Amino acid sequence: MNSYVTVTMKLFLASVLALAVTQVCGSQKESNGLMTQNGNTSAITQKTQPRFDLVTKNVTVVAGQTAVLPCTVENLGKSFRVVWMSPRHKTLTLQDRRIITDERISLERPYVREWNLHIRKVMISDAGIYQCQINTNPVQLRQVMLHVQEPAHIIGQLSSALSVMVREGETIELVCNVTGFPTPTVTWYRIHAGLSKEERGGASGKEQIGMEGEVLVIHNVSRYCDDRYQCLAFNGVPPADSREIRVHVQFPPEVRLPNKKIGQIRGRSTILECQITAYPHSLNKWRRNGEDIIRGSKYSTELYNEGANKVTLSLKVQSLTAEDYGEYECVSENALGRDSQSMLLYEYRSPVKKTTTTTTTTTTTRRPWVSSYDRHSNYDPQFNDRDNDDGGGVKDPDRPRGYDNGPWSSGQKDGEDRQRGSDTYPSYGTWRNPEYNSEEGESKSVISDPDGNGAVINKGLTSSVITIIVWWSLCFWLGGR
């Protein structure tokens, strides 16, 4: 009995031992198989790791526009997530969901691989480095630098007023406070108000003055500094910004007279004028004999604005009498001072016209004439004709001077019988050239007197007279020696 029990106990212990060995071996096999499976998975994971498809990039945008920050991821899979971080390390988006409350920010995916961050109505404060991250181990990230540009802008509350008042002789500072990125450059200009191109000396209406900067300082201001000034701010990002400041310079009046004397005939009307430059204009008037001139039937005044703080004050005096002649005073005054100029009105008398008697004498001058005559014939220069033997020379009072007369003027030669004492007038001859030499022989020229009295000068006779005078003078000179 005891042996039976002993054998049974040995068999039970052997079974338990065998079962324990079997369980231990099985667990080791399962452990080895699991390790093999994990090794294969790690290898596969290494091959499908997500990666970025771009390098660090800079994005520049003007304030107010929309900025697009790109991020492209390859092989993302389902186990990994994409996150956008702000420059202040705040999470902006997770996958395609916005995490923060700023509605200007969103994530846009035009393609599967793209995870672009959009920022609408960009502000200067949005500039900085943004990060696109993937939750791998270790974490992968790409940086995008956002540059925000802002056009130049002049802050009116921190700048000089649009209208500035200053007294002559003081110092004034004009300020234009500007913002923008990059930092704007401020340039100052003077705009000549109320001056024509001729008065500006041909220069344009806009003149650059001073140095660049937000403040323009004008020392010892004079009345000629009264004008409009402009500051122009620009930083390369359009549009530029500008601001005009009107500077009013207060100064005492200055009176100028275009004419210090003016004359007019008694009984007529006249106008006196004076030009006044002042700011502000207060009181402008005409005075006579220490009293103000009042408008009425005798006097009337008009004020004309000439621009640039200049006015013209005119005084019209009606129907001048002897009492109206004398000095008139133009007066102007304001809170800063007073000025005046006097003008003399005198009586103008027309000069007496002298009566001049003019006597006109009419003289009739005969036309110069030239005639030729035969050297063998007798010649009467008074009648331009040959004498007849019986004294009956033929004269035609109606014929033109300078023409030959008589039947021999038709070209008859010497030796032919010439008809004398004809009852009829012979035909008129032809005009002869003074230098003409006829076939009959030498011709002589007779030239009429320029006074038209009918006298003639014989060239040959004149030469003989001159020769005799020369010889006589020579003999007289030799005899004297």
Helix (H, G, I), strand (E, B) or coil at 145: strand
* Under 8 Å between Cβ of 291 and 256: no
**Lowest model confidence (mean pLDDT) among 65-69, 254-258, 317-321, 357-361:** 357-361
**Lowest model confidence (mean pLDDT) among 86-95, 257-266, 357-366, 456-465:** 357-366
Going by the DSSP 8-state scheme, the letter that residue 41 receives in this structure is H
pLDDT of res. 469: 84
Any bridge partners for residue 457, and if so which? 447
Percent helix, strand and coil across the chain, each rounded to 5? 15, 40, 45
Q: Which of 164, 169, 290 has the alpha carbon at shortest distance from 231?
A: 164
User: How many Cβ atoms from other residues are within 10 Å of residue 429's Cβ?
Assistant: 20
Rounded Cα gap, residues 259 and 274, in angstroms: 8
Rounded Cα gap, residues 119 and 141, in angstroms: 20
Average pLDDT for 363-380? 44
Name the residue type at position 454: G
Alpha helices per DSSP H over 228-364: none
| pLDDT of residue 246 exceeding 90 | yes
pLDDT of res. 283: 92
Q: In this predicted model, what pLDDT tens digit does every residue of 198-214 receive, in sequence order?
A: 655 555 688 999 999 99
Helix (H, G, I), strand (E, B) or coil at 339: strand
Any bridge partners for residue 188, and if so which? 209, 231
**Mean pLDDT, the chain, whole residue set:** 76
| pLDDT of residue 81 exceeding 50 | yes
First to last CA, the chain: 221
Rounded Cα gap, residues 330 and 234, in angstroms: 50
Q: Which of 168, 376, 151, 155 has the alpha carbon at shortest distance from 252?
A: 168
Confidence band for 346, pLDDT divided at 50, 70 and 90: very high
Average pLDDT for 453-472? 66
Cis peptide before 280 (omega within 30 of 0): yes
Q: In whole angstroms, how far apart are CA 435 and each of 145, 211, 438, 455?
A: 115, 93, 10, 20
pLDDT of res. 78: 87
Rounded Cα gap, residues 315 and 296, in angstroms: 11
Q: Which of 13-17, 323-327, 349-353 has the highest mean pLDDT?
A: 323-327
Query: Which tops the pLDDT comparison, 239 or 423?
Result: 239
Share of residues in the chain with pLDDT > 90 (%):
55
Average pLDDT for 93-113? 93
| pLDDT of residue 162 exceeding 60 | yes
Give the domains, in start order, of the chain with CATH numbers: 51-150 (2.60.40.10), 155-251 (2.60.40.10), 257-347 (2.60.40.10), 367-414+431-481 (no CATH)
Rounded Cα gap, residues 282 and 337, in angstroms: 10
| pLDDT of residue 280 exceeding 50 | yes
Rounded Cα gap, residues 314 and 332, in angstroms: 13
**Lowest model confidence (mean pLDDT) among 47-61, 97-111, 271-285, 404-418:** 404-418
Q: Which of 12-26, 265-279, 426-440 has the highest mean pLDDT?
A: 265-279
Cis peptide before 239 (omega within 30 of 0): yes
- 122: tokens are 């960009």
**Residue for token pair 């902006």:** 92
Average pLDDT for 90-99? 93
In terms of pTM, does the model score above 0.75?
Answer: no
pLDDT of res. 379: 41
| pLDDT of residue 316 exceeding 50 | yes
Alpha helices per DSSP H over 186-328: none
Going by the DSSP 8-state scheme, the letter that residue 89 receives in this structure is S
* Under 8 Å between Cβ of 186 and 212: yes
Q: Is 97 exposed, middle or buried (0-12, 13-18, 19+ CB in 10 A)?
A: exposed
- 440: tokens are 């009959």
pLDDT of res. 416: 41
Radius of gyration of the chain (CA): 64
Element holding 474 (H helix, E strand)? helix 459-480
Name the residue type at position 407: P
